[in-house]
Amino acid sequence: MRPDWKRDAFAGTLSAGTISLSDIVSALSFALDLTEDARPGHAVRSCLLGMRIGTELGLPDQQLSSLYYALLLKDIGCSCNANLLCEMVGGDDRRIKRSVKLEDWRYPSISGLKLLWEHAGAGEAILMKSKRVLSLAMRRRRFRNELVRLRCECGVKVGRKIGLPEASVEAISSLDEHWDGRGYPERLRGEAIPILARIINLAQCLDLFSSENGTAAAMRSISARSGSWFDPELVRVARALSQQNRLWEFYGSGMERKVVLGLEPGMIVRADDAQIDRIAEAFADVVDAKSPFTYAHLLGVRDAAMHIARQIGMSGERLNLVYRASLLHDLGKLRVPNSILDKPGKLDFMEWQVVREHPGLSGEILSRIRPFQELARVVGEHHEKLDGSGYPGGLKGDQLSIESRIVAVADVYGALLEDRSYRPGRSRAAALLSMKESVPGKLDAECYEALAASSASGLPFARRDSSHVHRDMYG
């Protein structure tokens, strides 16, 4: 049975009710942008556009609130299909995700074939690549439906875990449905598609089309797809807002998130400790879902980190910091393609550089939330080593906080227990023995001894199937 981590009342910078939910969610939406290879801020810009359309329609505040959070978290399930997509195309799942959203897959096209040829079968011989592309082209609707259905199922599960309104969850589940009934996964038609989903689909495509070719081209694209992809009435509203210079106001200004925070309908929702923890746990699920080898990795790191922290006498604010850092430290992994995460062999130099960027990305995402600055620092340091041989900053010794050291030890331990794409997991004893070689040079001795004591007492560190790619000295 998993331990129930009841922590002390939180006092300090993250006191209950002092942070707006929109501040947290809008910042974490930048992590979701990584899964789709979208230009940073995609979800926030989609929210800016979608809220203007919803407001113009005269939706009541309760419905607008559901729309607001659904827009920011619309891609909450998108990491779940990354591995399947990587296997299908034999290439970079993130790059093809970005490209497929711009293509009309309802009908065969030269542009679609060119897209598949560009992204599928990376490194394969011409004959194998040709067979893969042909198979993808012939089965494009079935493959697309399978990928979207998986995304929807995960999005619904994670959305409910966060505590989103059911209208938001329903909208996230249906955002790939098309007005003409040729969307995914249920082939809903017309007004059978929830109105919030119709708005989200239009808003996200406006941003995607604009990011590629500019706002004028985006308006032409949605007009061309009016009645097929999009609700004609929503297209009419978007065009009217654009003509009145109200749709694109502040778009591309760099101030979009600030503006979006001011668009939250009704009273500002404040997040208490329990809600912050649910969000952290939900985003840990999002990260772990990216690869079949990372099932529950972050929950395992959380368990180990909390045992270490308790063992060394930590409590209160510091314990809460460890709890959240252990769950959120791998947010940046959402930027790593599955062709790297699940690679069975050794990473080349460029692949390794991509992996090394993830701690900094995790910290950068969390640093957007002003009260989370210390959390961002701890998260960004989880691959640093005491002797300065870690990354990304080469920090050493006293430069590393005790919380960073705890998460680092717990993360290494979790990785060693888990199966990887290139090796099987180890027993607890073997994992601890391997880690001992790096104590105290690289890993903190006190944290290691606390972990060893907890493990020896039989506390429940579950062995998990995982290839959490710790491509460092433990590879």
Number of CB atoms found within 10 A of residue 83's CB: 20
Closest Cα partner for 359 from 397, 421, 404?
Answer: 404
In DSSP terms, 387 is beta-bridged to: 396
Q: Which residues contact 332 (CB under 8 A, 6 or more apart)?
A: 31, 34, 357, 358, 359, 360, 361, 362, 363, 364, 365
Write the DSSP string, 31-95: HHHHHTTPPTTHHHHHHHHHHHHHHHHT--HHHHHHHHHHHHTTTTTGGGGHHHHHHHHTS-HHH
Among 29, 24, 20, smallest CA distance to 47 is for 29
Backbone angles phi, psi at 152, to 5 degrees: -65, -45
Q: Which residues contact 209 (CB under 8 A, 6 or more apart)?
A: 102, 217, 218, 221, 222
Amino acid at 319: L
Cβ neighbours for 229, distance < 8 A, ≥ 6 positions apart: 104, 178, 179, 180, 183, 201, 205, 222
Q: What are the phi and psi torsion angles at 289 (to 5°)?
A: -70, -10
Other C-beta atoms lying within 10 Å of the C-beta of residue 462 = 11
Separation between Cα atoms, residue 406 and residue 410, nearest integer Å: 6
DSSP 8-state secondary structure symbol assigned to residue 269 = P
For tokens 């998990």, name the residue: 464
CA geometry: angle 54, 56, 60, nearest 5 deg: 60
Is-contact 445 452, C-beta < 8 A? no
Active site positions, annotated: 333
Positive/negative CA dihedral, 409, 411, 412, 418: positive
Rounded to the nearest angstrom, the gap between the alpha carbon of residue 355 and the centroid of all alpha carbons in its chain is 15
Q: How far apart are CA 155 and CA 65, in angstroms?
A: 18
**If DSSP codes are grouped into helix, strand and coil, which group holds residue 396?**
strand
